[in-house]
Amino acid sequence: MEQVQGILNYLDDMSEKPVNYTFEPPPGTPARTGRTVKHEVTIIDGRTAGFQPSLDVEGFMLTGHRSAVGNFYDENEVKRVYYPEMERLVREILGATRVLVFDHNVRNGSKEARAKYGVREPVRFAHNDYTLKSGPQRVRELCGDAEAERLLRHRYVFINVWRPIRGPVEQSALAVCDARSMTQSDFIATDLVYRDRVGEVYSVRYSPRHRWYYFSRMRPDEVLLLKCFDSDPNRARYTAHSAFEDPATPPGAAPRESIEARTIAFFAPAAS
């Protein structure tokens, strides 16, 4: 079993609820509140771990998938081609009755490329994208109160599908935490402020119990599925994740380029 030592950024305990802005906040307002603390952790290469992680146990899984998208920086092509691809993939893997692909982010580790394409950098902070509050809230925002009322009576799952769009990945690999090694007390509800709404994510406080994994040198024909919320408390519910720097990364390695598609899988019967 191969492993590396990596530095992950956690959130230190604080008395007030942390706040993160997704845009440049008003003058005098910090973009992020709270103190980040760095911890060196062991990160196991999932390719050599000797088991196949699953969404319902560990909270993540790796699978092969080839996309027909030619240019992931073309938002229209991604929505036209990639969204239906991800809908089919998640529906087949989870056996859901319906999958909604509602958002995506393209990330690039190069500052010059981010300026050129208007995309974001990899997130180097341990977090999970949804909370006990924001999971159902997001369903209501996307589906409307009437339909959401029906959907929320049944199981629903938020899945992020993460893919390199250039590979193999050498910089800023994605680390994911085994859900079995985390407890609810490890998660700190954090306001995520957009220009038009306020969401909520989980920041993560450090625990020596956490078991971190990554998949070395991921390729564009592979995807990593992360469960970011499950309404069923008897399954893995969250997957804390963060980019990290592998100390074995060779000098001059290509910056990471990736896309994550955000999806919700519903298990409600079709409306009559």
The answer to whether position 252 is within a domain reads: yes
> What pLDDT, on a 0 to 100 scale, did the predictor assign at position 271?
66
The answer to whether position 152 is within a domain reads: yes
Cα 197-199-201 angle, rounded to 5 deg: 160
Considering Cα of 145, then 147, then 150, then 154, what sign does the dihedral take?
negative
Secondary structure tally for the chain: helices H, strands E: 5, 14
The answer to whether position 137 is within a domain reads: yes
Convert the pLDDT of each residue in 153-186 to its tens digit: 999 999 999 999 998 999 999 999 999 999 999 9
The answer to whether position 271 is within a domain reads: no
The answer to whether position 272 is within a domain reads: no
The answer to whether position 195 is within a domain reads: yes
> What pLDDT, on a 0 to 100 scale, did the predictor assign at position 42?
98
Angstrom distances, CA of residue 105 to CA of 73, 192, 206: 10, 16, 26
The answer to whether position 57 is within a domain reads: yes
The answer to whether position 134 is within a domain reads: yes
What single letter denotes the amino acid at residue 245?
E
What single letter denotes the amino acid at residue 165?
I
Q: Domain count of the chain?
A: 1
Q: At 106, is the secondary structure helix, strand, or coil?
A: strand
Angstrom distances, CA of residue 36 to CA of 9, 104, 126, 196, 206: 6, 26, 10, 27, 10
State pTM to two decimals: 0.95
Regions of the chain short of the pLDDT cut 50:
none
Show the domain range for 215.
3-266
